[in-house]
Amino acid sequence: MRVGSVTKMIVALIILRLVDAGDLCLDDEIHEHLPELSDLQVPRGVTVRRLLNMTSGLPDYTSEEFVEGLLVAPDRLWTPSELLEVAFSGSQEFAPGTSWAYCNAGYIVLGMLIEHLSNARVEDVARRLVFDPLGMHATELPPLTHGSSTLPDPRLRGYHRQADELADATRINPSWAWTAGNAVSTAGDLRLLVEASARGDLLQEQTHRECMSTHPVPDTTLGYGLGIANFDGMWGHNGELPGFQSFAGHDPATGTTIVVLTNLDDHSADTLAAFLRARLLDAASS
């Protein structure tokens, strides 16, 4: 099923593996690699690191109005450039590096960066650098294609609540989320992903340390690293998009891994994961 922003762990791992390969540095300014972003007035100071850890200050595109519009035109194919045009119709949130705000647009930029550096489609790079090394054979980043659902059979349908009714959101073309949230996966594959991400299995030691260095998330107890969050000792990511919610987390201290996938977007996967974690801790201490 669709896993939403858990995709960001995949994209971050790709970028960090390219860092280890010497193709770029975390503190490179994005203009150095994608000069065409100057047309969108991306400010100086937006680095690869700041895109990964959500401190770039870039405007975002996933407003409530935008998401509701997906249900009206579910078959629309969105290109990365179109998504950034929507984002940059708004204003820069803050000067790069001075604050923190969740930003899907930043991960669209990172997807463009991956394709530029690799001269290949991001879905193929993900297969080579992440999915195959980890044995994630049921996971993919769907290609940008016309038409509706790219979920393979057998599949769960996803539902979005509108007022008092449930709307089937399964057929929404996932191109709108691209490298910010379009991955399709299973609970078993996400376990492989989150455990490897938390341990740094695919990364050099210094790169993994950089990945796990977090910035405080305002008004929460959470910290956000390079595409991975610290949920009070459980490292991973959550995801939400029309019809689906997800959570994948690993606690290195206890060896506990929790993956939650739901096919109704008003049922919080985070809440279910926290409940399960508390129950497991209670059971372990009794």
Domain layout of the chain by residue ranges: 4-229
Residue 110 CA from chain centroid, whole number: 11
- How far apart (Å, rounded) are the C-alpha atoms in residues 31 and 270? 35
**Contact by Cβ (8 Å): 212, 223:** no
285 part of the active site: no
Dihedral sign for Cα atoms in the order 46, 219, 266, 91:
negative
pLDDT value of residue 150: 61
pLDDT value of residue 266: 82
pLDDT value of residue 286: 62
Q: Which candidate in 5, 175, 197, 246 is catalytic?
A: 5
CA distances from 130 to 25, 35, 46, 267 (A): 19, 27, 25, 29
Phi first, then psi: what are they for 44, rounded to 5°? Answer: -65, 150
pLDDT value of residue 67: 87
pLDDT value of residue 279: 83
Residue ranges in the chain whose pLDDT is less than 70: 146-153, 284-286
- How far apart (Å, rounded) are the C-alpha atoms in residues 273 and 194? 14
* Domain 4-229 falls under CATH 3.40.710.10: yes
